[in-house]
Amino acid sequence: MSSTEISRHQFPDHFTWGVATSSFQIEGAHNSDGKGPSIWDTFCAIEGKIADASNGHRACEHYTRWPEDVDLICQLGVKAYRFSMSWPRVQPDGQGAWNEAGFAFYDRVIHALTERGIELHLTLNHWDLPQALQDQGGWANRDLCEHFTRYASEVARRFGSRLASICTHNEPWVIAILGYEQGIFAPGIESRPQAMQAVHHLLLSHGMALQAMRSLGCTTPMGIVLNLSPIYPASDDPKDVAKARLDDGLILRWYMDPLYRGEYPQDVWAHLGTDAPVVLPGDLDTIAQHHDFLGVNYYTRNFSSSGNPWDVASTGNQVTDMGWEVYPQGLTELLCRLHTDYQPERLWVTENGAAFKDDLVAGVVNDSARLAYIRDHIAATHAALVQGVPVGAYFAWSLLDNFEWASGYAKRFGLVHVDFETQKRTLKNSALWYQQFLRETSRGSD
């Protein structure tokens, strides 16, 4: 069997297969039923920030079309759905009254999917922070750790027993570095010290939230989701090798070391100098809570160069519409490395997928490149399993074409095509392949 031929039966029966979305990217209804503004509502309104000048006002209209999307999830035959709650929808200013209409929406979705046998994996923060909290400094302000902990506790109290897992933050690197250092994502700040402080507060609030939710008696598996990728030096030049080691520190070890070892990596700390965050006594113990799972979002690998420009085309591999190299082996390597270096109790691939240009012709989207991407990354996940890594889940990103942040609606990651004018949903061939893959009931049907 070649690496691209993969069968569901090569995976353990209890392996979780799912699809993923996030609130801001699909819900729309940006100001309905008492929802407060999020930092992404504000950011989208700034000219030049979003490639196609769009916003999340309508997105996929999931807020009203959710019954159809529930049907789609069930149609695919997945066991699990990973989604996020919009904090400003349930607590408009992030620290005051709860918005019952907001909670009622999530209650309906959770109820409908549970009734149909789908398990729910909830993310508390997939980037749409209440704007009112940004007005107080956002994640650079330590007070947010308390506000987030109260929000997490309330969600755990209301929904905890109905969820298969709770993730605190999705991709803290993206929130802090793209949002507070590079300024290309909300809230659009360009300050390295603020970014590093934001990272620390995201990790600290993760630990505080876990403690608080557990102290309520919530036994739902809890963890965090990181965007990770292997980093290779662009050449054998010792300067490139050193740069790759530092970049690995900034992107992977800066998160994994505090979470799993209770310390920040010394080499990165020294590199940051005065940009390093303020860390109070006890913070690292709080961050290094027991995590029931680690979620990994994998899309591509990265190269580091100390100065020479590096071109993705030089790898000779296919590149997605995001300009990301297709490199499934990187997922195997990453999972094996995390297992060897940190031994997370459970490792889940919480996002994996690809943006490619799609054509909808006579009701068909023949997205062969996306189909191959997903199939080959499932095979790469299996390769890690074979090497003894306890990978327990794979979630395809994404259920639907949706709002791809600063890229707007032009980049399509969905298994399901969305016509953003009519909101018509069409299963792409990649979705049909995933459906067929999940349907296999015996080796004979491979």
Map residue 352 onto helix, strand or coil. coil
- By CB under 6 A, tell whether 297 contacts ligand IFM: yes
289 touches ligand IFM by CB under 6 A: no
Shortest distance (Å) from residue 126 CB to ligand IFM: 6
Smallest gap from residue 373 Cβ to ligand IFM (A): 13
CB of 295 to ligand IFM, least distance (A): 11
Q: What is the DSSP string of 177-191?
A: IIIIIS-SSTT----
The catalytic site residues sit at: 171, 351
446/439 Cα distance (integer angstroms)? 10
Q: Are 126 and 83 in contact (CB under 8 A)?
A: no
Interface mask (CB under 6 A) for ligand IFM, residues 359-398, using x and -?
--------------------------------------x-
If one asks whether residue 321 binds ligand IFM (CB under 6 A), the answer comes out as no
- Interface with ligand IFM (CB under 6 A), residue total 8
C-beta closer to ligand IFM: residue 171 or 248: 171
Nearest to 343 by CA among 408, 278, 388: 388
Q: What does each C-alpha distance from 331 to 3, 24, 114 come to in angstroms?
A: 13, 27, 31
Please say whether the beta carbons of 187 and 144 come within 8 A: no
Q: Which stretches of 7-139 are assigned E, i.e. beta strand? A: 16-20, 80-84, 119-125
Q: Which of 77, 78, 81, 80 is nearest to 26 (CA)?
A: 81
**Interface with ligand IFM includes 351 (CB under 6 A)?**
yes
Beta-strand relationship, 391-397 and 347-351: parallel
Among 8, 17, 22, 378, binds ligand IFM (CB under 6 A): 22
Q: Is 430 in the site for ligand IFM (CB under 6 A)?
A: no
Provide the 8-state DSSP code for 400: B
| 24/293 with CB nearer ligand IFM | 24
Shortest distance (Å) from residue 135 CB to ligand IFM: 24
Q: Which residue lies nearer to ligand IFM by CB, 59 or 372?
A: 59
Residues that bind ligand IFM (CB under 6 A): 22, 25, 171, 297, 351, 397, 404, 413
